[in-house]
Amino acid sequence: MRNKNTRRTGYLKAYSLSEILIVLCIIGILIYLVVPNQTSVVTSAKSIEAQNMLNMVYSLEKNYFYKNSKYSNSLSDIGFEPEKTIDEGGKAVYKIEVIKADLNSFEATATSLQDFDGDGAYNTWQIDEEKNLKEIVKD
């Protein structure tokens, strides 16, 4: 029979430190494998910003053309107010510019200010008077 004064020395069921470290290593490896695949999703989502802004520029240029019988090379003339870019403390990732405008045609570009995948190429989109929207430089 046991003495009532003796303590019961037992261990609680728990995970050892080495088991926890192994699980954390496996989670880290899985995250390492998944993150590079997400860069294309981020690039696609950000490029939608460029496409939307260029479609707006197209619409405003068409309105300006119908009123003035020519296209404008000034964003302020057509009524486009670009959002502040990330280098100006804003949220816009693309810089919008009208690179060519004359009586019959115009070209506008959206150039990324951020290299999404770190390869040195900055994503660039272009639109013209016929609403041909194309990606000039892929990132």
pLDDT tens for residues 44-60?
A: 888 898 999 999 999 99
Looking at the domain assignment, is residue 26 inside a domain? no
Q: What are phi and psi of 94, to 5 degrees?
A: -115, 140
Q: How many helices (H) and strands (E) does the chain have?
A: 2, 4
Complete DSSP assignment for 78-113: HT--PPPBGGGTSSB-EEEEEEEE-SS-EEEEEEES
Which pLDDT does position 128 carry in this prediction?
A: 95
Looking at the domain assignment, is residue 107 inside a domain? yes
pTM above threshold 0.75: no
Number of domains into which the chain is organized = 1
Which residues sit opposite 85 in a β-bridge? 92
Instruction: Please give the residue range of the domain that contains residue 91.
Output: 40-137
Looking at the domain assignment, is residue 61 inside a domain? yes
